[in-house]
Amino acid sequence: MSNVYQHKPLTPFRRGLARFSLSETAKYAKLTLGLWIGFGIPYLLGYPDAAVPLAGSTMLTLALGSSISAARSYFYKRVFSNVVAMPIGTLLIWLTAPHLWLGAALLPVVIFSIVALRPSLFQMTSITVPITLVLYTGEHIPLLEQRLIGVVLGMFLGFILQQIAFPPDHGYWANTLVNDGNEQATEVVAQLAAGQLGKARIKATATQLRTLSTNLKQAHQLLKIDSEQAWVSPHLKRNKVRLPVFACYQETFDTLVNFLETLDTFHEQFAALDASWREAFLARLARLVAAHRQLAEAADLRVERAPLAAPPLHMEDLRQLIGDLPASNVFTSVYLGHLTGYGILLCRLSDLHTA
């Protein structure tokens, strides 16, 4: 499958919807929908006692599942915790009746032993609630049934709402971060290549770029996990093919951060290098940033444009670029290594954008 991402730019409405899906307001809107739907349906059907656990479970799924995959994972764990813990706990209360104190003493031991056997299926924060409720429901089977039905249906409702009501568009977030990162990276590297980047700005710029790179890594991971589910939302299909591109840009930004941090730490040693070598180094850096700017334009999906006809940088170009730049000492080797690493990643991006 081609890695070239070809589509028309998002309409203003869809762009605004994507931004909204990532906001706190979208979370509040989904929680409100979860409360209204989860409470309203059983209440109107004549089951007011089931309305509270159903609405509460719906809201828990939405509150603790910040992505589709997280909501699904929490759904599985909490359903297992209730479906297993409450029947076993109720059976224990029956067996120890009328000595409630004995049942209360044994209940945590039994349930926590089950958790220890399969910790991947049970979540401690979820299982402590049904343990406590078992002591309240006791032998009241209708309360147990309502609790289990409310939890299972409520968690499922929360998962469905997370899928269809403003699903967080991590792909849009990743694309935005790529655009911002490319703008920052090319600007700082171009200034460095032109000898206009003062030492005072290097550390601050590296910190900003590292924060952006960390956010891009998170967005890429969330998009990747969400894309592995069976039912894939339209926004996931739109950005799934971009996963290798996001990963490569994140690695590129990390590489430039390391380069800037090295330059900040050994700035005096860089300034003391042979003037002709340093000039040649910066000239080659300028050629790499020119290729990076071409890639940045190809990566920017806000404007419709044809894919790149040819890679801006080939490995053979990079070999020729650095082949006649000798590394005569430790510091020239270090800086040449950063230049090479940056170039290799640009070559990989060139392939991704023209595959």
Q: Is 61 within 8 Å of 71 (Cβ atoms)?
A: yes
Between 256 and 322, residue with greater pLDDT: 256
In a domain, 14, yes or no: no
The CATH number covering residue 210 comes to 1.20.58
Q: Is 150 within 8 Å of 53 (Cβ atoms)?
A: yes
Q: What percent of the chain has pLDDT over 90?
A: 31
Residues 74 and 186 in one domain: no
3-state secondary structure 21-89: HCCHHHHHHHHHHHHHHHHHHHHHCCCHHHHHHHHHHHHHHHHHCCCHHHHHHHHHHHHHHHHHHHHHH
Tens of pLDDT, residues 185-236: 999 999 999 988 888 889 999 999 999 999 999 999 988 888 877 566 777 7
Listed residues 122, 141, 164: the one ending a domain: 164
3-state secondary structure 104-123: HHHHHHHHHHHHHHCCCCCC
What domain count does the chain have?
A: 2
Residues 255 and 136 in one domain: no
* pLDDT computed for residue 212 by the predictor: 96
For the entire predicted model, the pTM comes to 0.80
Q: Is residue 7's pLDDT more than 60?
A: no
* pLDDT computed for residue 208 by the predictor: 95
* pLDDT computed for residue 57 by the predictor: 81
Tens of pLDDT, residues 172-192: 999 999 999 999 999 999 999
Listed residues 112, 138, 164: the one ending a domain: 164
Residues 125 and 178 in one domain: no
* pLDDT computed for residue 1 by the predictor: 42
In a domain, 8, yes or no: no
Residues 198 and 333 in one domain: yes
Listed range (39-43, 76-80, 273-277, 340-344) with the worst mean pLDDT:
76-80
Token code pair at residue 184 = 């920052």
Residues 344 and 206 in one domain: yes
Task: Give 262's pLDDT tier (boundaries 50, 70, 90).
Answer: very high
Tens of pLDDT, residues 84-131: 777 777 777 777 777 777 877 887 788 778 777 777 666 666 666 666
Phi-psi region at 195: left, alpha or beta (left = phi > 0; alpha = psi -120 to 50) = left
Residues 137 and 242 in one domain: no
Residues 277 and 140 in one domain: no
In a domain, 322, yes or no: yes
Q: Is 188 within 8 Å of 209 (Cβ atoms)?
A: yes
Residues 208 and 82 in one domain: no
Residues 92 and 129 in one domain: yes
Nearest to 129 by CA among 229, 56, 209: 56
Domain span holding position 81: 23-164
Listed residues 164, 186, 204: the one ending a domain: 164
Of the CA atoms within 13 Å of residue 1, those in its CB half-sphere come to 8
Residues 99 and 177 in one domain: no
Phi-psi region at 294: left, alpha or beta (left = phi > 0; alpha = psi -120 to 50) = alpha
Q: Is residue 355's pLDDT more than 80?
A: no
In a domain, 3, yes or no: no
